[in-house]
Amino acid sequence: VAEKLPYERTPEGYARRTELFGQMDPNGNGYLSLAEIDRGVLDVLQLGEIFDAKPAIMRAFQKAKNYLPTDSGTPGEDYVQRREFRIFLQFLRHYFELWVMFEGIDSGMDRRINIDEFTAAIPKLASWGVLIEEGTEESTFNQIDDNDGGQVLFAEFCDYAIKHKLDLGEEQDDGDVPELGMTVEEKIKDTFAQYDVNGDGVISPEELTSVLTSLNASLKPLEIEQILATADCNKDGKVDYKEFVDWLFKRRGGKEGKNTEATRKALASQDVDWEAISAKLPYERTP
């Protein structure tokens, strides 16, 4: 399954996603509806096992379609945009794994889990990384059953699984899904990814400048130029995610002034208000 969901930030992954999106977007309008995605999973991605997992497709669609800011007057908020397609594939991979777990517990195959099924699955949950102490089965079940309906639905199971980091461990993963237990470094990469309009893995000097000045208004233009020059490791005039994060976590040598050092450390901090910074990024640019 993972091989057919090219969400990696590589030239090969980008080329493959461009091809797949074109095949799934018959109207050529740059948006994918749920119906187009549903058909595309079967006809384009050729993933019949996921096609039958409708709840997983729905969860991935709902997550991805609101992942990026949408310009007013466009239908983007109701569709998966072209630049949201990578994150949709990553969400789909993640939620399909959760669906496999859910089906493994749902022995009655009625798309819900009762207390008996949950109790019988305690050994499976342990193999996925969650140990439930003897005598706490019912109280744990009630915690997962968020709406107190006496049954655990797929959405409720997802919330629990994400919180407790359940893992089938059957395939190598390339990292956590954004917003689901990310490290600081992954969080930074995905913040910048939201404003990578072309989805080519490169962030512009304007975008970086906006972030840096949001963190430290006293930065002078020359200091910003020095930061950009340092981050551009291969000197191609562009800064990709890896280059910027390498600079951010000081993986390369080189002197830096106190002002730029303070900005770098602030950007790498757990306490950064990413929502405030994101609001100032020029995401309305067009290619």
Blockwise average pLDDT, block size 10, the chain, 287 residues: 84 91 93 93 90 88 78 71 90 91 92 95 90 91 89 90 74 48 54 56 73 75 81 79 72 66 69 56 41
- Predicted pLDDT of residue 123: 93
pLDDT of res. 40:
94
- Greatest Cα pair distance, the chain, in angstroms, is 66
Same fold, 2-165 and 184-279: yes
Cα 92-93-98 angle, rounded to 5 deg: 90
The predicted pLDDT at position 181 comes to 42
Helix (H) or strand (E) holding 203: strand 202-203
Q: Is the distance from CB of 24 to CB of 40 less than 8 angstroms?
A: yes
List Cβ neighbours of 139 (8 Å cut-off, separation of 6 or more).
none
**Quick one: pLDDT at residue 100?**
92
Interval 248-262: pLDDT, tens = 776 555 566 777 777
Q: Which residues contact 225 (CB under 8 A, 6 or more apart)?
A: none
CA 286/CA 282 separation, integer angstroms: 10
Domain boundaries, the chain: 2-165, 184-279
Instruction: Please give the Cα distance from 257 to 183 (Å, whole number).
Output: 27
- Domain 184-279's class? mainly alpha
Residue among 132, 49, 135 nearest 92 (CA): 49
CATH no., domain 2-165:
1.10.238.10
Give all strands (DSSP E) within 42-120, no chain letters: 80-81
Quickly count: other Cβ atoms within 10 Å of residue 234's Cβ. Answer: 9
Angstrom distances, CA of residue 120 to CA of 68, 123, 134, 147, 167: 40, 8, 12, 22, 18
Nearest to 9 by CA among 268, 243, 205: 243
For 28, 93, 128, 159, 162, the CA distances from 104, given in Å and listed in that order, are 39, 17, 12, 17, 17
Predicted pLDDT of residue 286: 36
Q: Distance between CA atoms of 68 and 77, rounded to whole angstroms?
A: 9
pLDDT at 269: 63
The CA distance from 21 to 26, in Å, is 9
Q: Residue 283: its pLDDT value, please?
A: 41
